[in-house]
Amino acid sequence: MFARSAIRAAGVALPRSGAVRLAAHNVAPVCHILHNNVSTTGLHKPAPFQNPSPEEVCQNIMSQIPQAKPKGPKSKEKRTFTVLVDNQPGVLSKIVDTISARGFNIDSLVVGRTNLKEMSRITLVFYDTQHASAQLSAQLEDLVPVWAVFDYTDIRVIEREMLLVKVDLEKENADLPLRMRRDLNRRSLTEMAALFGGIIQDVSHENVTIELSTKPQRIGTFMSLLKPYGIVEATRSGVLTMARSPVEPDYIQEEEVEVDLASLPPS
């Protein structure tokens, strides 16, 4: 059975309600822990299961999250939580009510099913201080439907968001004849979508619909480049987040260099 202090040391907030259920299920024996299978967090990783239980899912995620580097007090900053909950009616309303009661401004909230039909995963992005977010985490832990709360704020993660946007083909290059204007704008938008890794999903005489799945920052840049053409309609899925796999301490990683494509000179 896991000690709560060991789980805390891994940067994971295990709910008291969830801890009771994990203890009741005697997590360590159930997960068949391998003695030679230890993650860089110091937690043993369970052997893979074709039909894992909620306890095993929580333990798998815990073993993949590296220990976050401590930071000093800061002003409000972007914070990302992942919350594993029971897949049952009324759970989302309890989560939202808890967040609203503390006055948090939610930037993104995504709810979806996991590999277990009885478990859902909530990805929450908001802006606040470290102290306030720690209090929110503690409150979420007390909710009975919550299995675990993971704070992904200060660790390396993979973030993805999907955009569907419908763009006008007639507004830009208004000095050209209508047919030539449509053809030119359609080609320009097709090239721009390809540059960002997007896909043209629908085309008509008046507009074109683009699908793009990438980092939230790149979606913001892409939207700013589309504004001169005229955005007819747009919808964003919200942010999905997953921790990157931990690596050995002596492994040197190349830092990713973010390039703002909007700042590049025209080709």
Chain-centroid distance of CA 61 in Å reads 14
> Is pLDDT at 236 greater than 80 in this prediction?
yes
Domains of the chain: 4-155 (3.30.70.260), 158-240 (3.30.70.1150)
Instruction: Determine the Cα–Cα distance for residues 8 and 14; give it in Å rounded to an integer.
Output: 7
Buried b (16+ CB within 10 A) or exposed e, 209-248: bbebbbebebbebbeeebeebeeeeeebebbbbbbeebee
**Torsions phi, psi of 5, nearest 5?**
-65, -35
pLDDT digits 0-9 by tens, 121-132? 999 999 888 888
In this prediction, residue 8 carries a pLDDT of 42
According to DSSP, residue 25 is labeled T
CB 141 within 8 A of CB 98: no
pLDDT digits 0-9 by tens, 79-102? 999 999 999 999 999 999 998 888
Instruction: Classify residue 178 as exposed, middle or buried by CB count within 10 Å of its CB (0-12, 13-18, 19+).
Output: exposed
Tokens representing residue 187 in the block? 């080609």
Q: What angle do CA 228, 233, 234 make, to 5 degrees?
A: 95
Buried b (16+ CB within 10 A) or exposed e, 37-76: eebbbebbbbeeeeebbbbbbbbbbbbbbbeeeeeeeeee
Whole-model pTM?
0.67
